[in-house]
Structure 1
Amino acid sequence: MSDDAAPLSVDTAVYKTLLESTQAIPWRIDWETMCFSYIGPQIERLLGWSQGSWIGIDDWVERMHPEDRERVVGFCVAQSKAGVDHEADYRALKADGSYVWIRDVVHVVRKDDGEVEALIGFMFDISERKKNEEKLLRLQRELEELSYQDGLTGVANRRLLDSILESEWASARRSGQPLSFIMLDIDCFKQYNDHYGHLAGDDCLRRVAHSLGSSIVRPRDLLARFGGEEFALVLPETDLEAACQVAERCRAALSDEAIPHRASDVSHLVTVSMGVATAYPAEGGIPASLIEQADRRLYRAKQSGRDRIVAE
């Protein structure tokens, strides 16, 4: 061995020691043979597979979660062929049959003529990071759900109502189908609060929401709290006659709930007044016009004595 080669051997040994003392797992694949020319011994600690069992790229592919395989392999091969450094996250199979999240950071080594010579990189265990990310995403989903939910009654809030109404209006405009809207108001609710107290009033709102919710049988129908003691229902692909049947079903459900209301001018039980309106968005108009029409009919129902449905 020449004098010049000796320092290089020492440096190589030092680099190897440094690489194998880290948590990251170094590796190298020869592009022509698609075989591992090196993989760090840390791989056995992390995944349980022996260092010598990593022969070729097939070992890497087969030890990847089936749901991640096509996406990751396709991406990495395409990037490598293009000579682009890249990274990929995937679930790696452990020798005991479980999975661990890995991040592979890959550098493409080129020859002097520009052809790919090898891939070198590091595998990192990112399981803890993934757990935290999933927890954060779950919390974000929960917060999003809460942002569309009325805090008192648990039904949809006005924000979601407006969003769904816009969406169903656009759908009905394309399909030519009718869209119906029911606006309802608890009769003499101020008197209820004055007589029973605001905590009882809150419980009354919850019970009304529950009974109305039990009247909805189709997945796309939406019950929402419009505000105060007012609720609304969005009924896609529903004509006026069918919407009135839903309104009658709501009245019957509330009657079965039999919530006492001794201070009511209408009944000894809690009742509601309803305005029902139907539109054909394909003929023009805007969602707000449907709400306004239902609101006007609700007003007439209350002016006419309450505890009734007005649909024209």
Structure 2
Amino acid sequence: MSLFPPANTHTKTAGKLLLIYVATVAVITIIAFYAVSTWINHHLESNLRTQKSRLYGILAAHKKLTENFFEREIITPPVIDLVRRMGKAEPGELPALRDELYSQLANAYKWMTCYGVQQLHFHSADSHSLLRFHAREYSGDDLTNFRPSILKVRNTHQPVHGYESGRIVHGFRHVFPLLDGDTYLGSVEICQSIRRIVSDLGGNTINGDEILYAFILKKADLENKLFPQQFRYYTPSLIDERYRCGSVAQEDGKPVPPKGVNNLSERLHRKLHQTKGIAEKITREEDFILFPIITHNEYAVYFHSIRAIDNTHVAYLIMASDESHLSGLYTKALLGVAMIALLLIFPFRYRYQLEHERQNRIHTAEFLEVISQNMGEGVYATDTSGVISYINQTSCELLGWSAKELIGQNAHNTFHDGHSLTEEECLILKALSSPQETYKGCQQYRRKNGSLFPVEFLSKAMSGDNAVSGVVTVFRDISDQQAREQQQQELTQQLEQANKELSRLARIDALTEVANRRKFDETLTTFWKSASREEKTLSLLMIDIDHFKAYNDQYGHPAGDAALKTVARVLLAACKRPGDIVTRYGGEEFAVLLPNTSLADACLVGQRIQALLADQQIPHSASSVANHLTVTIGAASCHAPQDAFAQKLVDAADECLYKAKTAGRNRIASSKLDQIT
């Protein structure tokens, strides 16, 4: 049967309608392809944002890790003392001091490399290199003209975090000031490797798809920084000659050629180089996406701009994923347009073939039946009494009945649980009384086996001859959707719990499992304000293990760690009130905050600590005080402090500790500061 009437019948009108038909199909095609292109662009931009968000999240986690390492291992009295001595030492004395500093932190540095730390680098107060743990033979060079981050830390005495290229290693750096009171001794930086960042981003896969990646560095940023012998490790990028490929790795403290941060094939590199407009996009130094890049597959290539501490662009992190499936969307869109074009044929035929009206109606009904049976959602129609007059195959599959069993049955009584949903509450039945309204919502449907499942539905009254003839309802099973929502809620709760645990661990000393220096500072401020407000007494014990360095030298660091744990347990046992706070202040030094405690009672706590520790009988043959491990205690207290700095209480206790140590150790010295202002 011809789709259009004979050419000799109303030829002029047919030509106009044919032109309108072609124009309509063309507009629909343009709209469909525009919608597909818009969706693909949104999908790619969403991927770019997701990758960027993951990158920022990983960098934030690494920042937390380095801050914890800095507080636990770097800002300890032995390290600060070494840096102070190195700042005052003659050139001939520096090698020995560097070796001593390296020995002090070698184990900690080795531990940190397991977490992706590529560099631990100490700098002097005048911005010269003191010690590169990753390349000990390079030291003494002036970093003033190469490392803006070091200058910023020196000027502000505040930590600086961000990406920065260096003379050997490039990566995301965390530079911390080293202070002795208010005196700036220099700085130390901890550098996270690009390779570890890429690994944490997902290794070689994201959402199950293989991810190719490369890291290219701006040539202009490298030229004036690298040591001359390092240039051989960097080759021109095949993508853009203004960039270089490479990232220096470390093996046994020695630089080796770049590896592991570039698995883009040479073919894909060259294809990117040949891509029209890529040079202009790279020149903008912003994030961008290229799609499709066709080799044997169709790739989406994401360029993430890496910016230095001063917010200038210095590199690109490139990630490529196979997105061949996106091109299939255009084929599906074309099929959809073809389907719509087929639907549009029938109104044009109807105009010229009135004699075939019955055949056209039958054809249209059959066609709609095919759509209904294959649309993937349940559809059924009821008359004004709620009796089912039509139901599609998808509905039968969802409900467990056959169409023959359902036709003629009351839909409400069959699908709904009468105990949980009455006829008055049924929105589908309400559509009969309000033909102008479209009702939609969620309800429970009952299967043939009696089980209930959630559905999302839409009901609309059908009108004919100016009267309501029934209701059409479209519904779909949302069990999987609700399960996903429940899973998302559970994941959110788990994330919140993990964040709380992370916050707790950030305030606990990893070795002794008592509060750390950060927790001490926070609690001291809180107790100080409370003592001032409630006019109560606040006491502080500063506790130092006698001759602990000699103990470590005599018995080894594992024994020293065990001794620190024992002292921490003794302190917890001696402080019997829930409000007393025991902290590891740094190295072998502990602090105990005693709220609402007089100086005399604080001294009693100190005596109890010394007695309990003596009961432990920890051998210490290298001690000049006793043949077992002992502690010296400085005690200070203040009643109702007003407008004073809490640090004065710390200084007072520290001064008493110094007096007790000077007087021979293994004793308590105390001071009462009622007049702190």
1:189 matched to which residue of 2? 548
Letter in 2 for 1:267: A
Structure 2 runs not aligned, ≥5 long = 1-360, 380-394, 400-413, 423-454, 457-477, 672-677
User: What is aligned with 1:307?
Assistant: 666
Q: Indicate yes or no: 2:654 matched with 1:290.
A: no
Q: Deviations over 1:57-102 (max 9, x none)?
A: 89xxxxxxxxxxxxxxxxxxxxxxxxxxxxxxxxxxxxxxxxxxxx
1:172 has 2:536 as partner: no
| Cα offsets for 1:189-221 (capped at 9, x unmatched) | 111111111121111111111111111211111
Q: 1:136 to 1:20 in 2, by over 3 A?
A: farther
Are the structure 2 counterparts of residues 283 and 54 from structure 1 closer, same or farther at C-alpha, using a change threshold of 3 Å? farther
Aligned twin of 2:511: 152
Pairwise CA distance, 1:245: 1.3
Structure 1 228/19 Cα, relative in aligned 2: closer, same or farther at 3 Å? same
Asked if 1:279 is matched to 2:638, the reply is: yes
Is the Cα–Cα contact under 8 Å of residues 179 and 235 in structure 1 kept in the other structure?
yes
Specify whether residues 270 and 125 from structure 1 end up closer, same or farther in structure 2 by C-alpha distance, changes over 3 A only: same
Q: Percent identity?
A: 37
580, 597, 619: which is aligned to 1:260? 619
User: Residues 222 and 235 of structure 1 are in contact (CA less than 8 Å); yes or no, is this contact kept in structure 2?
Assistant: yes
Q: Quick one: higher RCO (CA 8 Å, sep 6+), 1 or 2? A: 1
CA distance in 2, matches of 1:283, 1:137: 38
Summarize deviations over 1:125-155 as a string: whole Å, max 9, x none: 3432233223323322222221111111111
Amino acid at match of 1:213: L
Contact 1:180 1:278 in 2 (8 A): yes
Q: Distance in 1 between matches of 2:418 and 2:539?
A: 64
Q: Answer yes or no: is the 8 Å Cα contact 2:635–2:668 preserved in 1.
A: yes
Distance, in Å, in 2 between the alignment partners of 1:150 and 1:250 is 20
- C-alpha separation in 2, matches of 1:298 and 1:267: 18
Residues of 1 paired with 2:592 and 2:618: CA distance?
21
Tell me, in whole angstroms, the C-alpha distance in 1 between the residues paired with 2:378 and 2:578: 57
Per-residue CA shift, 1:127-186, capped at 9, x if unaligned? 322332233233222222211111111111000011111111111111111111110100
Q: 1:239 aligns with which of 585, 598, 602?
A: 598
Shift of 1:259: 0.7
Task: Name the residue aligned to 1:228.
Answer: 587
- Secondary structure at the aligned position of 1:224 is classed as strand
**Cα gap change, 1:57/1:236 in structure 2, threshold over 3 Å: closer, same or farther?**
farther
- What's the offset of the Cα at 1:51? 5.4
Q: Secondary structure at the match of 1:151?
A: coil
- Taking the aligned partners of 2:617 and 2:591, their CA distance within structure 1 comes to 21
Please report the TM-score for the alignment, with normalisation by the length of structure 2: 0.31
Change (3 A) 1:181 1:55: same
Alpha carbons of 1:309 and 1:19: their partners in 2 closer, same or farther (altered >3 Å)?
farther
What is the CA-CA distance between 1:19 and the residue it aligns to? 4.9
Distance 2:621 2:584 in 1: 24
Structure-2 change in CA distance of 1:129 and 1:197 (3 Å): same
My pick for the range that moved more, 252-261 or 296-305, is: 252-261
Scaled by the length of structure 1, what TM-score is found?
A: 0.64
User: Partners of 1:282 and 1:191 in 2: how far apart?
Assistant: 39
2:398 and 2:589 map into 1 onto residues whose CA distance is: 64
Task: For 1:162 and 1:153, locate their aligned partners in 2 and report how far apart those are by CA, in whole Å.
Answer: 18
Q: 1:128 to 1:311 in 2, by over 3 A?
A: same
State the 1:20 CA deviation: 4.9
Q: Which moved more, 1:286-295 or 1:135-144?
A: 135-144
Question: Of the candidates 24, 46, 52, which is equivalent to residue 416 of structure 2?
Answer: 52
Which residue identity is paired with 1:125?
A
Taking the TM superposition and a 5 Å limit, the aligned residue runs for 1:21-36 are: none
Root-mean-square deviation (CA), in Å?
Answer: 4.0
Find the aligned partners of 1:243 and 1:229 in 2 and give their Cα distance. 20
Native 8 Å contact 2:537 2:595 kept in 1: yes
SS at structure 1 position matched to 2:523: helix
List alignment gaps of at least 5 residues for structure 1: 22-39, 44-49, 59-103, 106-121
* CA distance in 1: counterparts of 2:418 and 2:646, whole angstroms: 62
Q: Which has the larger radius of gyration?
A: 2
CA 1:57–1:184 in 2, change beyond 3 Å: closer, same or farther? farther
Give, as a single letter, the amino acid of the residue that structure 1 aligns with 2:604: Q
Deviations 1:106-132 (A, max 9, x none): xxxxxxxxxxxxxxxx77234322332
Aligned ranges for residues 12-161 of structure 1 at < 5 Å?
Answer: 14=372, 18-20=376-378, 52-53=416-417, 124-126=482-484, 127-161=486-520
Within-5 A mapping of 1:188-207: 188-207=547-566
Residue by residue over 1:24-49, the C-alpha shift from the partner in whole angstroms, topping out at 9 and shown as x without a partner, is: xxxxxxxxxxxxxxxx9989xxxxxx
Q: Which amino acid aligns with 1:124?
A: Q
Structure 1 stretch displaced more, 170-179 or 227-236: 170-179
8 A Cα contact 2:540 2:594, kept in partner: yes
Tell me, yes or no, if the aligned pair for 2:534 and 2:640 is still in contact at 8 Å. Answer: no
Residue 153 of structure 1 aligns with an amino acid whose one-letter code is T
CA contact (8 A) 2:583 2:590 kept: yes
Structure 1 counterpart SS, 2:591: strand
Q: Which residue of 2 aligns with 1:66?
A: none
What secondary structure sits across from 1:283 in the alignment?
coil
Whole-Å Cα distance in 1 between the matches of residues 398 and 544 of structure 2? 68
The range that moved more, 122-131 or 277-286, is: 122-131
> Which residue identity is paired with 1:183?
M
Match of 1:34 in 2: none
Between the aligned partners of 2:597 and 2:418, the Cα distance in structure 1 is: 63
Distance 1:286 1:54, change over 3 A: farther
Secondary structure, counterpart of 2:613 in structure 1: helix
Cα distance in 2 for partners of 1:174, 1:57 equals 60
- Which residue of 1 is the match for residue 469 of structure 2? none
Whichever residue aligns with residue 53 of structure 1, its letter is D
How far apart, in 2, do the equivalents of 1:138 and 1:238 lie? 35
CA deviations on 1:235-275 (whole Å, 9 max, x unpaired) are 11111111111111111111111111000000001000001
Aligned partners of 1:185, 1:179: CA distance in 2, in Å?
Answer: 20
1:209 maps to what in 2?
A: 568
- Corresponding letter in the other structure for 2:643: G
Q: Is the 8 A contact 1:170 1:281 kept in 2?
A: no
